[in-house]
């Protein structure tokens, strides 16, 4: 049974979908992932937080407590991502891409440049004017070459980033 949730979908991924979870977070989509999660905890998170379970496990979706889910058929992350975007009518948009921490899913925040001076390499500090950080894990982000590489991967995967 697949019931519908109103509002923007939020997700919880099973332990086989780490790369999918990461790319959903790149797109700014609220996605819980823990590589050590078991099925009972996955279902509990889905119920407690009204999240769609993204899973490759057919037996999991047969459990009576599973209400919101999307079965992932492919082993390849680009196909998985296109499947989720299509099923939920989602798009990658410029204003929300890279708005979540890739490690823990928290919304990242602009941070004063001087406050992170000792947390990044001097070259990075000198060549970038805008920095962000995760308020949970305190990881620092900036627009270096990594985002460009991800944009290219998304483009090769057929994912368009809209303005």
Taking Cα atoms as reference points, which of 54, 65, 51 lies closest to residue 8? 51
Q: Which residue has the tokens 């082993």?
A: 75
Residue 64 exposed, middle or buried by CB count within 10 Å (0-12, 13-18, 19+): exposed
Asked if residue 68 has pLDDT above 50, the reply is yes
Structure tokens at 101: 């921490």
Express as a percent the part of the chain with pLDDT over 70. 96
Calculate mean pLDDT across residues 138-146. 91
Q: What is the pTM of this model?
A: 0.91
Enclosing H/E stretch for 7: none
Per-residue pLDDT at 67: 87
pLDDT score recorded for residue 4: 61
Q: Tell me, what's the pLDDT at 5?
A: 65
Q: Contact at 8 Å (CB) between 98 and 26?
A: yes
Reply yes or no on whether the pLDDT at 100 is more than 80.
yes
Average pLDDT of span 82-95:
95
How confident is the model at residue 1, as a pLDDT? 40
pLDDT of residue 56: 95
Confidence of residue 2 (pLDDT cuts 50, 70, 90): very low
Mean pLDDT on 91-100: 93
What is the CA 47 to chain-centroid distance, rounded?
19
The pLDDT assigned to 144 comes to 86
For 15-66, what is each residue's pLDDT tens digit? 999 999 999 999 999 999 999 999 999 999 999 999 999 999 999 988 888 8
């Amino acid at each position: 049974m697949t019931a519908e949730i109103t509002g923007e979908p939020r997700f919880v991924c099973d332990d086989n979908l780490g790369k999918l979870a990461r790319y959903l977070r790149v797109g700014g989509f609220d996605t819980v992932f823990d590589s050590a999660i078991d099925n009972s905890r996955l279902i509990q998170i889905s119920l407690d937080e009204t999240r769609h379970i993204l899973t490759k496990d057919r037996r999991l979706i047969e459990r009576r407590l599973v209400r919101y889910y999307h079965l992932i058929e492919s082993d390849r992350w680009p196909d998985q991502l296109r499947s989720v975007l299509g099923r939920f009518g989602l798009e990658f948009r410029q204003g929300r891409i890279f708005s979540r921490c890739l490690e823990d899913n928290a919304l990242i925040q602009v941070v004063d440049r001087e406050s992170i001076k000792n947390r990044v390499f001097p070259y990075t500090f000198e060549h970038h004017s805008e920095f962000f950080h995760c308020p949970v894990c305190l990881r620092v982000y900036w627009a270096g070459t990594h985002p460009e590489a991800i944009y290219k991967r998304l483009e090769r995967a057929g994912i368009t980033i809209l303005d």
